[in-house]
């Protein structure tokens, strides 16, 4: 069951959209460092990791602000998201997750700007109790991983009855420097984090429900590995000092749900949320005496209202309104480490810049007979962005409007087999990062502002088959994407302090093609086989007509494995994850110190894990990752993956 594809709860087999669901069973088998780890090897997803403690999924060749990220229905994506790999999805506690849903393909009719490559929605646990008596429980998770001498702990306490329930959680992580395949220690790769969360749900009767939620995550000092170690084509690192100090996220959320049959709706939901993401940095270029401290934050406030109305047999209309206000707080201070002289310099973003958006949307799911289903959606979006003059003396005001839509259909060919097809238009207005980023950037670049950017647009068609019966769950989807007016970092030919000057411009067109395959086969009550295979091909055309491979396109990748239940208390699982060689590189890929200009080598890992639950209140799990100690790097990542990694974990409940 999932809620993202049509903003309502429905079996993923019964929607035409391509969607990947990572449920509680999948999550409980893993011991993630960061939330994107839970997406590795999944259908339609490839994970890039710039440095330990950071990572982001790539969906159909798109990443960063080209994909929309939600938490419990509210935006994680904000005005300072980059349209390239960034760290913000790693700022969610990986142990405060109930499920993850990945909607693959443009979803702008339901979710607006940024939802071009798809939508990743993280659902967090909600406490539920039954009966009038007050009840309570507790859960404790502890683990140790050898490749990073890593300790993780998380505890969750909940109490309540059928009307009122509360939940509280706390987590802590401590990772030493990583040991890659072959035994090489990766200096500057350690990090720590801590997280907390709380949730209250009040359900006085069947008609009313009130939920209040708080989430907090903090990495106090995380090194940027690829800046501190020489990369490809470098004899010295780009930076002597580079720390995210700190990276932090605070999320406050309230939801009111009213359920009652009326002519206009069966259910009505109001959401209000405030999120503060802090992206502070301390950096110093290699061989330089000037140390920079940045204070960057996004303050995002959102309000949404949504109604759902069931009509006709098995048909439903969902419609609603959204408003978001995002304000950017950005400052920079430089200090000469030799003299102690301090100065105020131009910040990364124009301080006090804002981005407002509002939208009206509707989505109709029509069941026509026993075999044919249509999904039709449309949305009007307006964005108002103010690039403040701040410390640079030049500002801008931009207004962008757009009407987006999608059409999907599924046709039941025979029992258990559906043909599905979707056509959608995506739209992404330039955000504050696109418009106003200034200063030193990774890859020996220096970025200057461009307030004249226009929105990106995208058209995608996909089609394929979904199959489901007593022993099989499978899907095979192909897609074609036409991406226009892509905002791209362009070399100007100038240099500042030895760095190449770049500027974001609407200059390119991108064509993306791909196939996604996922399957589970339940051979018996004890044996399950699973697999996924993903392939994307991308070409980018420049204004001069020259065509090159598109940026950061993942290679052929996927996983194969089996899960066997030996007895009710004991299970084992074996799987391999793999990726082929990727030597179709863009010019920017070849110049990126994170990527071998000769191409990223292919790789495959062998992995085992087993779980034993001798008592209803506690369970043990042992994972053996990369058993063959393969030395490899996931394409586009800034650091090699771990070598042999032994992970022991203990789960206890009271």
Longest dimension (CA), the chain: 79
Higher pLDDT, 311 or 530: 530
Residues 249/215, Cβ–Cβ less than 8 Å: yes
Instruction: Express as a percent the part of the chain with pLDDT over 70.
Output: 100
Locus of tokens 């580079």? 242
Helix/strand/coil percent split, the chain, to 5: 5, 60, 35
Residue 234 within any structural domain of the chain? yes
Locus of tokens 């404790």? 140
| pLDDT digit string, tens, across residues 476-488 | 999 999 999 998 8
Instruction: State the pLDDT confidence band at 317, using cuts at 50, 70 and 90.
Output: very high
Cis status of the peptide bond prior to 246, with omega within 30 of 0? yes
Mean pLDDT of the chain: 93
Distance CA 334, CA 440 (A): 13
- pLDDT of res. 438: 73
- pLDDT of res. 229: 96
Q: Nearest 5°: phi and psi at 35?
A: -60, -40
Tell me 555's DSSP state: -
pTM: 0.94
Q: Which of 301, 309, 297 is nearest to 268 (CA)?
A: 309
Mean pLDDT along residues 524-541: 96
DSSP 220-251: S-EE-HHHHS--TT-SS-SEEEEEEEEEEEEE
Mean pLDDT along residues 627-638: 96
Residue 45 within any structural domain of the chain? yes
Instruction: State the pLDDT confidence band at 544, using cuts at 50, 70 and 90.
Output: confident
Locus of tokens 């959608």? 424
Per the structure, the count of domains in the chain is 1
| pLDDT digit string, tens, across residues 2-46 | 777 777 778 788 888 899 999 999 999 999 999 999 999 999 999
- pLDDT of res. 609: 97
Distance CA 22, CA 583 (A): 31
Say yes or no to pLDDT of 595 above 80.
Answer: yes
Say yes or no to pLDDT of 151 above 90.
Answer: yes
What are the tokens at 553? 């396109």
- pLDDT of res. 147: 97
In which region does residue 183 sit, left (phi positive, over 0), alpha (psi from -120 to 50) or beta (all else)? left
Say yes or no to pLDDT of 566 above 80.
Answer: yes
- pLDDT of res. 109: 80
Say yes or no to pLDDT of 323 above 80.
Answer: yes
Counting every residue written for the chain, the total comes to: 654
Distance CA 300, CA 327 (A): 7
At residue 72, the 3 state secondary structure works out as coil
Q: Based on the number of CB atoms within 10 Å of its own CB, is 59 exposed (0-12), middle (13-18) or buried (19 or more)?
A: buried
Higher pLDDT, 124 or 437: 124
Distance CA 163, CA 625 (A): 44
- pLDDT of res. 653: 95
Encode 489-523: b = buried (16+ Cβ within 10 Å), e = exposed: bbeeeeeeeebbebbbbbbbbbbbebbbbbbeebe
Of 164-173, 253-262, 361-370, which gets the smallest average pLDDT? Answer: 361-370
Residues 458/484, Cβ–Cβ less than 8 Å: yes
Locus of tokens 């589970």? 520
Residue 625 within any structural domain of the chain? yes
At residue 234, the 3 state secondary structure works out as coil
Residue 6 within any structural domain of the chain? no
Q: Which of 619, 651, 625, 605 is nearest to 148 (CA)?
A: 625
Q: Could you tell me the CA-to-CA distances from 68 to 63, 121, 329, 426, 427 in Å, in that order?
A: 9, 8, 22, 11, 11
Cβ neighbours of residue 93 under 8 Å, at least 6 residues apart?
Answer: 35, 154, 169, 171, 195, 197, 215, 217
Locus of tokens 């009505």? 268
CA dihedral 42, 43, 49, 55 (to 10 degrees): -80
| pLDDT digit string, tens, across residues 42-92 | 999 999 999 999 999 999 999 999 999 999 999 999 999 988 888 999 999
- pLDDT of res. 435: 87
- pLDDT of res. 311: 87
Instruction: Express as a percent the part of the chain with pLDDT over 90.
Output: 83
Say yes or no to pLDDT of 455 above 90.
Answer: yes
- pLDDT of res. 363: 93
Residues 414/199, Cβ–Cβ less than 8 Å: no
> Which H or E run contains 472?
strand 472-496
| pLDDT digit string, tens, across residues 375-397 | 999 999 999 999 988 877 778 88
Encode 587-624: b = buried (16+ Cβ within 10 Å), e = exposed: ebbbbbbbbbeebbbbbebebebbbeeeeeeebebebb
Mean pLDDT along residues 495-505: 85
CB neighbours of residue 259 within 10 Å: 15
Residue 256 within any structural domain of the chain? yes
For position 602, which CATH number holds? 2.40.170.20
Residue 413 within any structural domain of the chain? yes
Domain containing residue 55: 12-285+294-396+405-653
Say yes or no to pLDDT of 421 above 80.
Answer: yes
What are the tokens at 611? 């779980």
Distance CA 479, CA 426 (A): 14
Cβ neighbours of residue 495 under 8 Å, at least 6 residues apart?
Answer: 446, 501
CB neighbours of residue 414 within 10 Å: 8
Residues 67/118, Cβ–Cβ less than 8 Å: yes
CA dihedral 429, 432, 437, 443 (to 10 degrees): -50
CB neighbours of residue 114 within 10 Å: 26
Distance CA 42, CA 558 (A): 7
Q: Based on the number of CB atoms within 10 Å of its own CB, is 312 exposed (0-12), middle (13-18) or buried (19 or more)?
A: exposed
| pLDDT digit string, tens, across residues 609-618 | 999 999 999 9
What are the tokens at 277? 């993401």
| E strand map for 24-87 | 46-48, 56-58, 68-71, 74-75
CA dihedral 336, 337, 338, 343 (to 10 degrees): 20
What are the tokens at 296? 């960057």
What are the tokens at 352? 């006090």
Distance CA 524, CA 646 (A): 29
Residue 5 within any structural domain of the chain? no
Mean pLDDT along residues 517-537: 97
- pLDDT of res. 545: 82
Q: Nearest 5°: phi and psi at 435?
A: -80, -35
| pLDDT digit string, tens, across residues 196-250 | 999 999 999 999 999 999 999 999 999 999 999 999 999 999 999 999 999 999 9
Residue 3 within any structural domain of the chain? no
Say yes or no to pLDDT of 257 above 80.
Answer: yes
């Amino acid at each position: 069951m999932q809620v993202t594809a049509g903003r309502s709860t429905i079996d993923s087999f019964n929607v035409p959209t391509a969607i990947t669901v990572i449920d509680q069973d999948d999550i409980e088998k893993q011991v993630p460092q960061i939330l994107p780890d839970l997406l590795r090897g999944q259908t339609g997803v490839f994970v890039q990791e710039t440095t330990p403690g950071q990572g982001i999924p790539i969906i159909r060749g798109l990443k960063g602000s080209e994909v929309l990220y939600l938490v419990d229905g509210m935006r994680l994506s904000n005005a300072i998201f980059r349209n390239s790999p960034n760290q913000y999805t790693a700022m969610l506690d990986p142990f405060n997750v109930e499920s993850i849903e990945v909607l693959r393909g443009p979803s702008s009719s339901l979710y607006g700007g940024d939802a071009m490559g798809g939508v990743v929605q993280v659902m967090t646990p909600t406490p539920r109790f039954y009966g009038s008596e007050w009840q309570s429980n507790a859960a404790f998770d502890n683990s140790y991983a050898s490749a990073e001498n890593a300790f993780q702990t998380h505890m969750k306490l909940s109490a309540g009855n059928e009307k009122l329930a509360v939940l509280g959680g706390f987590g802590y992580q401590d990772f030493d420097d990583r040991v890659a395949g072959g035994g090489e220690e990766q200096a500057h790769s350690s990090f720590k984090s801590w997280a907390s969360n709380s949730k209250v749900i009040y359900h006085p009767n069947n008609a009313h429900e009130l939920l209040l939620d708080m989430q907090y995550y903090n990495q106090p000092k995380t090194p940027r590995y690829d800046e501190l170690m020489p990369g490809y084509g470098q004899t010295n690192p780009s930076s002597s000092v580079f720390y995210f100090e700190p990276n932090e996220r605070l999320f406050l959320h309230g939801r009111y749900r009213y359920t009652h049959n009326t002519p206009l709706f069966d259910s009505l939901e109001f959401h209000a949320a405030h999120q503060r993401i802090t992206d502070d940095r301390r950096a110093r270029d290699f061989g330089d005496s000037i140390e920079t401290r940045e204070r960057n934050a996004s303050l995002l406030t959102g309000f949404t209202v949504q109604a759902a109305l069931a009509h006709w047999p098995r048909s439903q209309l969902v419609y609603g309104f959204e408003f978001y206000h995002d304000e950017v707080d950005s400052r920079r201070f430089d200090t000469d480490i030799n003299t102690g002289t301090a100065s105020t310099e131009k910040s990364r973003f124009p301080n006090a810049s804002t981005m407002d958006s509002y939208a009206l949307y509707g989505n109709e799911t029509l069941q026509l007979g026993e075999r044919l289903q249509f999904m039709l959606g449309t949305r009007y979006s307006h964005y108002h962005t103010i690039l403040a003059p701040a410390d640079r003396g030049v500002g801008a005001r931009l207004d962008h409007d757009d009407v987006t839509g999608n059409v999907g259909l599924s046709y039941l060919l025979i029992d258990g087999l559906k043909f599905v097809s979707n056509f959608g238009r995506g739209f992404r207005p330039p955000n504050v990062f696109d418009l106003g980023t200034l200063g030193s950037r990774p890859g020996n670049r220096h970025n200057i502002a461009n307030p004249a950017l226009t929105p990106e647009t995208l058209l995608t068609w996909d089609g394929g088959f979904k199959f489901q019966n007593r022993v099989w769950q499978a899907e095979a989807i192909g897609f074609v994407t036409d991406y226009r007016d892509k905002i791209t970092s362009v070399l100007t030919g100038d240099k500042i302090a030895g760095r190449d000057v770049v500027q974001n411009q609407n200059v390119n067109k991108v064509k993306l093609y791909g196939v996604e395959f996922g399957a589970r086969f339940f051979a018996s009550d004890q044996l399950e086989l699973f697999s996924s295979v993903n392939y994307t091909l991308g070409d980018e055309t420049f204004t001069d007509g020259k065509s090159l491979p598109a940026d950061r396109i993942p290679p052929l990748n996927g996983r194969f494995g089996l899960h066997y239940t030996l007895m009710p208390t004991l299970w084992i699982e074996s799987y391999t994850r793999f990726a082929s060689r990727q030597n179709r590189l863009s010019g920017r890929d070849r110049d990126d110190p994170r990527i071998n200009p000769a191409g990223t080598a292919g790789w495959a890992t062998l992995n085992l894990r087993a779980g034993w639950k001798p008592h209803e209140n506690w369970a043990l799990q042992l994972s053996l990752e990369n058993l063959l100690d393969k030395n490899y790097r996931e394409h586009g990542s800034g650091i090699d993956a771990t070598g042999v990694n032994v992970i022991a974990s203990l789960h206890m409940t009271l």
